[in-house]
Structure 1
């Protein structure tokens, strides 16, 4: 039956009478759920758990939109929904995710592309992510959107696949034991949870060995090479970016979101601002003498767009990578960060402190950087240890 725009007074009276009869049956059966009409639509009302965005901690009386017309056919569907929800409440299995609406539609009423759009809308609107919208948008664009686009392409090209099968096919299209496989699993796990999909196997099991023994060892630049390359960069502003990254181990974008005021007070610490990927944290120089050698007290940043309502952290970081290529820097910006991390190990800085300054967990720090200590690094550490013994 086509949805109607208005209901006559007589029709309202008739449908309200049937609702009253049905609610009486639901009450006698102790369902704890009632049906109500609001205009031309039917809703349910019950004591429900707090919505995902609610600050309440206990269940309370709430309306649940069904999107059903106030007709006889709609009323039959509403009765079935009422019984299902009553059973879920008794079994303590009610989940709001199945009943939230996006653009006036519930997930179950959407096609797959609409569900993906609803997932993006929900991801960007999460209260904990609204605190740092620029970082959230960067995370979405780099870690979620590429794999959801690939999933959508696979689902469209092979419509006979279920969503779960398409998810598995998308994961297996990435390289095993790779960062992309891990990120893909993380993104599609979040999507499955959003859609209330029951997965036969937890997607994390497909990560492979990335982050453990499969972490690739990098040939990092020596300190002498880092200083020599700094001298070849012709633009003073980009020399400053390079010098800061080398001295403080910053991520590409973090250089543009720091408080450098302490350097003018002859301190060796800078503060990464809360607008960055991992929030506010303080970082100390390793080596402190590089502050003078790289003219970090006098230098200033190049002029680029950093308003996160107009750009993203990812785009800012890409500008740094592009400039490194332009000036023929023989290693990546991240190699400066990794060299800083290995340098702190040689200095004996605790992993807890180094990880805090780098803005990641201790587990990530030890898993990654301790494997990157090359034979050259080990030789230096041995010589330093022997030197301390001889001085003693």
Structure 2
């Protein structure tokens, strides 16, 4: 006789349902159980034929919940076989999305998503909650409302894209059959406003004009290592290079400064971090970058902190001719992002200089004999 611990698991229950030829399977979302089966369209649906749908049970994923969920699945399977299925038995509040306030769906989805993904609370607040807060919180979540929110945004914009992607995840979690991604448009890296990336000469000259030694160190590390503004506060030196301990894309080793001479000339091996009150709170709230930007403006730096990172990306690919994969690894993103985000900011003069250097090399390619 199997133990209750083994018997009342998702895998064990689904295996029994399969062995009994029950046309229903259980699924677990977060700590809650639901049934999935091929069911007739809901009342008012424009779908002509039965299709895979979910019925939320509101039962916890514990032994007692699995017992009750298996009984519900067998009852549903029996009704389907005998042609006695009726949505009226499953639509009352508490069984499916009907009647459940949108705010509750958002809370449950947030708990599930944060449990299954690595996401900073600030990222949820600034990117996900900002979309979900537009929904009427006390009304039931439904297809018409999520579509209305999508169409309320301007087409082919970052806002439309984010709205479609975030609402699609929520709708899928709630069992709403809707395809929002078809409306997200063609917003992408090509739509991003071109930057006036500073030259390396301007970057070096501006470093000398910053009077505060701590903020001059911040500036220098961002310029030489291409760090994001918040990563400057979470890095330290190792024998292999500069180790970033936390940031947007997690830990990484920046093993190559560009230029190495800046490290020595600017004394970057001797960290002098500025004192920032509530450092970790600002980081979690996603506001640490604002602090850096304010200091750049205070010292009249003629470009933004992120322009230093863009200059590093261009320098890696054009000036030092590093492979895209290497440049991307140094900056903590994918080769695809590197090509989309940084190469489009390379100006004509930079490209002309790069081509000239190659053509003047003694080992440049030669025409065939």
Provide the residue aligned with 1:324 in structure 2.
296
Whether 2:169 is the aligned partner of 1:184: answer no
For residues 253-304 of structure 1, give each alpha carbon's deviation from its aligned partner in whole angstroms, at most 9, with x where no partner exists: 1111112244xxxx6x21111x322122111211111112322122311122
SS at match of 1:289: helix
Provide the residue aligned with 1:271 in structure 2.
243
Q: 1: CA distance between counterparts of 2:74 and 2:258?
A: 64
Question: Given the alignment, which residue of 117, 141, 146 partners 2:125?
Answer: 141
For residues 160-190 of structure 1, give each alpha carbon's deviation from its aligned partner in whole angstroms, at most 9, with x where no partner exists: x973333233334444333333332222222
Contact 1:253 1:313 in 2 (8 A): no
Inter-CA distance 145–271: structure 2 relative to 1 (3 Å threshold): same
Question: Given the alignment, which residue of 270, 287, 310 partners 1:338?
Answer: 310
Provide the residue aligned with 2:342 in structure 1.
369
In the TM superposition, 1:42-53 aligns within 5 A as: 48=26
Inter-CA distance 375–196: structure 2 relative to 1 (3 Å threshold): same
Whether 2:188 is the aligned partner of 1:211: answer yes
Contact 1:31 1:86 in 2 (8 A): no
In the alignment, structure 1 segments of 5+ residues that lack a partner are 1-26, 34-45, 55-63, 68-77, 90-97, 99-103, 130-134
Q: Aligned pairs, how many? A: 302
Provide the residue aligned with 1:245 in structure 2.
222
Q: 1: CA distance between counterparts of 2:79 and 2:29?
A: 18
Provide the residue aligned with 2:67 in structure 1.
none
Provide the residue aligned with 1:358 in structure 2.
331
CA RMSD of aligned residues (A): 3.8
SS at match of 1:150: coil
Q: Tell me by how many angstroms 1:52 deviates.
A: 5.3
Question: Given the alignment, which residue of 338, 349, 355 partners 1:382?
Answer: 355
For residues 198-234 of structure 1, give each alpha carbon's deviation from its aligned partner in whole angstroms, at most 9, with x where no partner exists: 11x3x33333232254343221111111122222222
In the alignment, structure 2 segments of 5+ residues that lack a partner are 1-16, 33-56, 61-69, 82-89
Provide the residue aligned with 2:252 in structure 1.
281
Q: 2: CA distance between counterparts of 1:304 and 1:166?
A: 43
Contact 1:177 1:208 in 2 (8 A): yes
Q: 2: CA distance between counterparts of 1:147 and 1:306?
A: 27
In the TM superposition, 1:1-392 aligns within 5 A as: 48=26, 66=59, 83-84=75-76, 110-126=100-116, 128-129=117-118, 135-152=119-136, 163-199=142-178, 201=179, 203-262=180-239, 269-273=241-245, 275-283=246-254, 284-305=256-277, 308=280, 311-312=283-284, 314-346=286-318, 347-389=320-362
Q: 2: CA distance between counterparts of 1:358 and 1:87?
A: 57
TM-score by length of 1: 0.66
Q: Tell me by how many angstroms 1:107 deviates.
A: 5.5
Off by >6 Å, runs of 4+ in structure 1:
30-33, 78-81, 85-89
Inter-CA distance 322–351: structure 2 relative to 1 (3 Å threshold): same
Q: 2: CA distance between counterparts of 1:326 and 1:310?
A: 19
Inter-CA distance 85–287: structure 2 relative to 1 (3 Å threshold): farther
Q: 2: CA distance between counterparts of 1:232 and 1:172?
A: 49
Q: 2: CA distance between counterparts of 1:326 and 1:190?
A: 41
